[in-house]
Amino acid sequence: MLWVTGSTTEEKNKGWITAATRGDRLNRGMTRDRRTETGNRWAEGRLGVGGIRPQETGACLYRALSPASAQGGVGEHGTAPVTRSPSPTQRTTRTPRVVYGTLVERNPTLIRDRKHHLKTYRQCCSGKELVDWLTKLNDCFLSRTQAVGMWQVLLDEGILVHVKQDFNFHDRDTQFYRFLETDFNLNHTANEKDSKEDELQEGLSLLLQMGPDALLNMILRKCPNQRSAGDVEVIYEELLHVKAVSHLSTSVRKELAAVLVFESHAKAGTVLFSQGDKGTSWYIIWKGSVNVITHGKGLVTSLHEGEDFGQLALVNDAPVDKSDFIRILKDVEANTVRLEEHGKVVLVLEKSSGLGSPHLGGYTVMSGTPEKILEHLLETIKLDTNGNPCVGDFLLTQQVFMPSAQLCPALQHQYPFSAGSELEKTAYALNTKQKVVKLVGQWVALYGPLLKDDPVAVHFLEVCLLVACQSLFILTFAVMYEIYRPDHKAVSLVLPVDSSVQDIMSVLVNPGGDHVMVKMNSSGGKAPPSLTCNVGFVWVWQVPLKEQLGPEQSTTDALEQMCSKDIATQLTNYDWELFTAMHEVELVHYTFGRQKFPGATTANLERFMRHFNALQYWVVTELCLCEDLTRRSTLLKKFIKIAIVLKEQKNLNAFFAVMFGLSNSAVQRLCGTWERVPNKTRRIYCAYERLLDPSRNHRAYRLAVAKLNPPYIPFMPLLLKDMTFIHEGNKNYTDNLVNFEKMRMIAKTMKIVRGCRSQPYGSTAPPCGSTHTTLIFLRIL
Highest averaged pLDDT of the listed ranges 84-98, 282-296, 402-416, 654-668: 654-668
Q: Is 717 helix (H, G, I), strand (E, B) or coil?
A: helix
Position 334 pLDDT exceeds 60: yes
**Residues whose CB falls within 8 Å of the CB of residue 580, separated by 6 or more in sequence, listed in order:** 757
- HSE (side-chain half, CA atoms, 13 Å) at 103: 24
Nearest-angstrom CA–CA distance, 608 and 122: 59
Q: First-to-last CA distance in the chain? A: 48
* φ and ψ at residue 284, rounded to 5 degrees: -130, 125
Question: Quick one: how far is CA 268 from the chain centroid?
Answer: 37
pTM score: 0.69
Of residues 749, 732, 750, the one with CA closest to residue 741: 732
Nearest-angstrom CA–CA distance, 583 and 240: 27
Chain-wide mean pLDDT for the chain?
75
Arithmetic mean of pLDDT, 722-726: 92
pLDDT band at 87 (very low <50, low <70, confident <90, very high): very low
Domain 4-80+226-329 identical in fold to domain 551-779: no
Which of the residue ranges 450-464, 515-529, 563-577, 695-709 would you say has the lowest mean pLDDT? 515-529
**Residues whose CB falls within 8 Å of the CB of residue 112, separated by 6 or more in sequence, listed in order:** 123, 124
pLDDT band at 42 (very low <50, low <70, confident <90, very high): very low
Q: What pLDDT, on the 0 to 100 scale, is given for residue 722?
A: 92
Which of the residue ranges 20-34, 95-109, 758-772 would you say has the lowest mean pLDDT? 20-34
Position 20 pLDDT exceeds 80: no
CB neighbourhood size of 220 (10 A): 28
CATH topology of domain 90-221: Arc Repressor Mutant, subunit A (1.10.10)
pLDDT band at 775 (very low <50, low <70, confident <90, very high): low
pLDDT band at 546 (very low <50, low <70, confident <90, very high): low
Position 640 pLDDT exceeds 80: yes
Q: What pLDDT, on the 0 to 100 scale, is given for residue 488?
A: 64
Write out the CATH class of domain 551-779. Answer: mainly alpha
Arithmetic mean of pLDDT, 213-231: 85
pLDDT band at 535 (very low <50, low <70, confident <90, very high): very low
CATH topology of domain 4-80+226-329: Jelly Rolls (2.60.120)
H or E, element range at 392: helix 389-401
Residues 300-313: pLDDT tens digits? 788 877 777 776 55
Q: What pLDDT, on the 0 to 100 scale, is given for residue 510?
A: 62
Map out the domains of the chain as residue ranges: 4-80+226-329, 90-221, 369-470, 551-779
Arithmetic mean of pLDDT, 225-232: 84
Residues 417-472: pLDDT tens digits? 444 445 456 667 778 888 888 999 999 999 988 888 889 999 888 888 777 666 54
Q: Which of the pair, 325 or 492, is modelled with greater confidence?
A: 492
Nearest-angstrom CA–CA distance, 465 and 427: 22
Q: What pLDDT, on the 0 to 100 scale, is given for residue 333?
A: 64
Q: What share of the chain is helix, strand, coil (3-state, %, to 5)?
A: 50, 15, 35
pLDDT band at 267 (very low <50, low <70, confident <90, very high): low
Arithmetic mean of pLDDT, 614-627: 93
Q: What pLDDT, on the 0 to 100 scale, is given for residue 336?
A: 84
How many percent of the chain have pLDDT more than 90? 30
What type of residue is 203? G
CB 287 within 8 A of CB 25: yes
Arithmetic mean of pLDDT, 593-613: 92
Q: What pLDDT, on the 0 to 100 scale, is given for residue 103?
A: 87
Nearest-angstrom CA–CA distance, 97 and 119: 29
Tell me the β-bridge partners of 344.
Answer: 341
CB 51 within 8 A of CB 40: no
Position 53 pLDDT exceeds 60: no
Position 138 pLDDT exceeds 60: no
Q: Read out DSSP for 763-781?
A: ----SSS-HHHHHHHHHT-
Of residues 310, 117, 92, 76, the one with CA closest to residue 206: 92
H or E, element range at 347: strand 344-351
**Residue range 369-470 in CATH 1.20.870.10:** yes
Of residues 365, 367, 448, 317, the one with CA closest to residue 46: 317
Overall size of the chain counted in residues:
781
Q: Is 477 helix (H, G, I), strand (E, B) or coil?
A: coil
Nearest-angstrom CA–CA distance, 506 and 510: 8
Q: What pLDDT, on the 0 to 100 scale, is given for residue 3?
A: 28
Q: Which of the pair, 376 or 327, is modelled with greater confidence?
A: 376
Q: How do beta strands 53-54 and 16-19 pair?
A: parallel
Q: Is 751 helix (H, G, I), strand (E, B) or coil?
A: helix
Q: Which of the pair, 710 or 42, is modelled with greater confidence?
A: 710
Which of the residue ranges 40-44, 127-131, 445-449 would you say has the lowest mean pLDDT? 40-44
Q: What pLDDT, on the 0 to 100 scale, is given for residue 329?
A: 61
